[in-house]
């Protein structure tokens, strides 16, 4: 009996992905060919190809006609620009999270960067702030705004060292399907930012504004992130 209703291509994708990040498939290796994967997992080629396309799209493999699927080298930077949340992008062992402003219900800022529906404006938002440490250095200072709709008990949840994506999926059946993001380089002028990220006033930080879309229709939430990129780069493929 199969679990729930996760599509086959998605399960194969996750299995292969795990094989790559765990080092079972190493850089330069060829994945099993499409036909081999078909036989191994009792699937058909279009299904297998869909899984491989996902991997290629996120930079884990490069496909080459006539040759196969080549495992790509692991990036030097933090792969936060694609759909992966911070926890997935960095890995739990190197990531620590502290909540500096606990979740609370409030109104949306009047000059909010993203467009808000009337419903969103009416119900207000759940707001919180977190600082995330990579190898014990504070790298991300993140402000999150969730529409206050159907999120019972959220304000009393503990977000320390947890993946927000996981929490939303496990407790509210919310799956992040995609989103859009805007990037800027700015000076860290706000005192709080400098304090949290342990940088001097005026130091450049990368400012990332994101709208995150979920499987619940018309339910998106928002995140504004200040990144200290002096030691790390943000990494992405395209």
For the record, the structure tokens of 114 come out as: 């993203």
Supply the minimum distance, in Å, between the C-beta of residue 147 and DNA.
17
How far apart (Å, rounded) are the C-alpha atoms in residues 71 and 73?
7
Q: Could you say which of 15, 44, 64, 150 contacts a second copy (CB under 8 A)? A: 64
Residue 28 near DNA by CB under 7 A: no
Give 1 or 185: the residue with its C-beta nearer to DNA: 1
Helix (H) / strand (E) element for 196: namely helix 191-197
Span 49-68, contacts to DNA by CB under 7 A = 49-50, 52, 63-68
> Which of these segments, 6-14, 100-108, 160-168, 178-186, binds DNA (CB under 7 A)?
6-14
> Which of these segments, 21-29, 91-99, 128-136, 224-232, binds a second copy (CB under 8 A)?
224-232
User: 147 - beta bridge partners?
Assistant: 125
CB atoms within 10 A of CB 166: 12
User: 227 - beta bridge partners?
Assistant: 140, 206
> Which of these segments, 47-55, 80-88, 110-118, 130-138, binds DNA (CB under 7 A)?
47-55
Q: Can you tell me which residue has the tokens 């018309």?
A: 218
Strand 137-147 versus strand 125-134 pairing type: antiparallel
Give me the residues that bind DNA (CB under 7 A), please. 5, 7-10, 31, 33-36, 42-47, 49-50, 52, 63-69, 217
């Amino acid at each position: 009996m199969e679990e729930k209703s996760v599509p086959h291509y998605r399960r194969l994708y996750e299995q292969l992905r795990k094989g790559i990040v765990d080092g079972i498939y190493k850089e330069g290796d060829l994945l099993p060919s499409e036909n081999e994967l078909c036989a191994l997992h009792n699937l058909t080629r279009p299904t297998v190809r869909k899984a491989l396309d996902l991997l290629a799209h996120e930079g884990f493999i490069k496909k080459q006609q006539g040759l196969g699927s080549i495992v790509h080298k692991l990036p030097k930077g933090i792969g936060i620009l694609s759909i992966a949340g911070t926890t997935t992008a960095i890995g739990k062992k190197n990531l620590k999270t502290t909540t500096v402003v606990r979740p609370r219900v409030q109104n949306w800022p009047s000059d909010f960067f993203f467009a808000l529906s009337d419903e969103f404006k009416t119900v207000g938002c759940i707001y919180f702030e977190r600082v995330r440490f990579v190898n014990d250095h504070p790298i991300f200072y993140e402000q999150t705004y969730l529409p206050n709709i159907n999120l019972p008990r959220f304000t009393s949840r503990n977000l320390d060292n947890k993946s927000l994506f996981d929490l939303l999926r496990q407790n509210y059946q919310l799956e992040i399907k995609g989103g859009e993001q805007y990037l800027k380089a700015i000076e860290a002028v706000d005192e709080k930012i400098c304090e949290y990220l342990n940088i001097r006033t005026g130091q450049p930080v990368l400012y990332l504004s994101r709208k995150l879309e979920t499987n619940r229709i018309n339910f998106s939430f928002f995140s504004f992130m200040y990144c200290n990129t002096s030691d790390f780069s943000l990494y992405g493929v395209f």
